[in-house]
């Protein structure tokens, strides 16, 4: 295949606030909610619990001249996603070079963050607790348009070297072991479609409708989850650090007595993270669509969602144990204070007794 047609997608996601009120947002931008379209007939309950709102934007261009179609997608849990699309016609060598240059650079950072800041200034009434500093994630999807007579397995076998380099963003050829490891993270539903998922990029061979209505949306959703779990991980890290620092001050007078407010704050943050984690995890339902569920599981594992979710759960367990320890210390301090008060009362009574009063 000397030359082929396809598209390049750039995802840039930002965790901008605690929550976005989609009902308040929609009148401000006239946005729409996308209905997920799957590869085969699925029940109605395969859906977003609260579908994100999509806002089309004017095309944007890099300084190098490439011109992208652009859309914004607003998730109710505070994430804003920029999706850039560039139609592509070329050969494997050109695509490898482009992937290696873009994935390892910051070419899109200034462009996407400027788009988000401009739009957030307009939709500010729909945002709840806007953050000063934003966590971000970016992801690249290289899409080759397929046809009914194309065999995706043959394509991956014949061009596995190029595909593995594109997914890895490497300019130099990979070793056989690394190439095989990269290509193992692949799935197909029809004979003429396939996806190879990497940590920060994916290669997709599919029809235009199948790619943009299903697979790219799942990759976008997985990256939005990664962003949320990174936020929860940072939040729990700060709270646990504060709690440990407070425990180090136990030698100070009345430090144990002040354990209860500190423990209550730690428990409040933990319960809030648990609630938000469940909300984020259950935002998209896959009941009845096993292929989409397996595809999402693959994307989550390769992108890092699974690892960060495990980190969050581990820190929640640590916070729970620490809360129990702090409450125990509080009760011990309270018991000690009560004993001291009883002793003082007895001493006063003895003083009055010996003075004949």
- pLDDT tens-digit profile of 54-103? 999 999 998 888 899 999 999 998 999 999 999 999 888 888 888 988 98
217 occurs within a structural domain:
no
Strands in the chain per DSSP E: 4-20, 53-61, 67-74, 79-90, 127-145, 186-187, 194-197, 201-206
216 occurs within a structural domain:
no
Q: Which residue has the higher pLDDT, 354 or 114?
A: 114
Same domain, 164 and 26: yes
Same domain, 202 and 288: no
Give the domain-ending residue among 167, 182, 210. Answer: 210
Poorest-confidence range of 65-74, 154-163, 214-223, 337-346? 337-346
39 φ/ψ sector (left φ>0, alpha ψ -120 to 50, else beta): alpha
Poorest-confidence range of 84-93, 168-177, 202-211, 326-335? 326-335
Give the domain-ending residue among 186, 210, 234. Answer: 210
**Number of neighbours of residue 355 by Cβ within 10 angstroms:** 7
Q: How confident is the model at residue 330 (pLDDT cuts 50, 70, 90)?
A: low
Number of structural domains (the chain) is 2
What is the extent of the structural domain holding 71?
Answer: 4-210
Q: How confident is the model at residue 44 (pLDDT cuts 50, 70, 90)?
A: very low
Out of 27-36, 150-159, 205-214, 229-238, give the one with best mean pLDDT: 229-238
* Average pLDDT over the chain, rounded to an integer: 82
Same domain, 173 and 248: no
pTM metric for this prediction: 0.82
Same domain, 206 and 229: no
Q: How confident is the model at residue 149 (pLDDT cuts 50, 70, 90)?
A: confident
- H-type helices in 248-304, by residue range? 259-281, 290-303
């Amino acid at each position: 295949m000397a030359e082929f047609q396809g598209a390049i997608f750039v995802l840039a996601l930002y965790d901008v606030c605690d929550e976005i009120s989609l009902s308040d947002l929609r009148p401000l931008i006239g946005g729409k909610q996308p209905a997920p379209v799957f590869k085969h007939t699925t029940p109605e309950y395969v859906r977003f619990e609260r579908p994100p709102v999509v806002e089309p934007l004017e095309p944007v261009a890099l300084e190098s001249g490439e011109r992208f179609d652009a859309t914004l997608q607003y998730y109710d849990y505070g994430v804003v996603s920029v999706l850039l699309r560039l139609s592509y016609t070329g050969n494997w060598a050109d695509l490898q070079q482009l992937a290696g240059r873009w994935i390892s650079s910051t070419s899109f950072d200034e462009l996407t963050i400027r788009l988000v800041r401009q739009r957030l200034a307009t939709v500010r009434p729909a945002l709840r607790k806007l953050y000063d500093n934003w966590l971000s994630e970016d992801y690249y999807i290289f899409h080759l348009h397929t046809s009914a007579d194309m065999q995706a397995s043959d394509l991956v076998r014949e061009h596995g070297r190029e595909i593995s380099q594109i997914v890895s963003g490497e300019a130099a050829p990979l070793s056989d072991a690394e190439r095989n490891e990269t290509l193992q993270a692949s799935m197909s539903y029809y004979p003429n479609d396939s996806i190879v998922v990497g940590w920060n990029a994916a290669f997709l061979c599919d029809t235009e409708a199948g790619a943009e209505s299903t697979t790219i949306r799942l990759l976008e959703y997985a990256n939005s989850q990664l962003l949320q779990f990174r936020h929860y991980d940072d939040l729990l890290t700060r709270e646990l650090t504060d709690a440990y620092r407070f425990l180090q001050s136990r030698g100070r007078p009345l430090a144990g007595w002040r354990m209860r407010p500190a423990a209550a704050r730690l428990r409040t943050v933990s319960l809030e993270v648990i609630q938000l984690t469940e909300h984020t995890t259950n935002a998209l339902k896959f009941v009845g669509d096993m292929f989409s569920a397996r595809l999402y599981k693959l994307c989550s594992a390769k992108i890092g969602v699974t690892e960060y979710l495990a980190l969050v759960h581990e820190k929640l367990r640590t916070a729970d144990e620490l809360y129990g320890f702090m409450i125990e210390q509080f009760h011990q301090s309270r018991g000690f204070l009560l004993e001291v008060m009883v002793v003082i009362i007895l001493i006063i009574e003895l003083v009055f007794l010996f003075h004949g009063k």
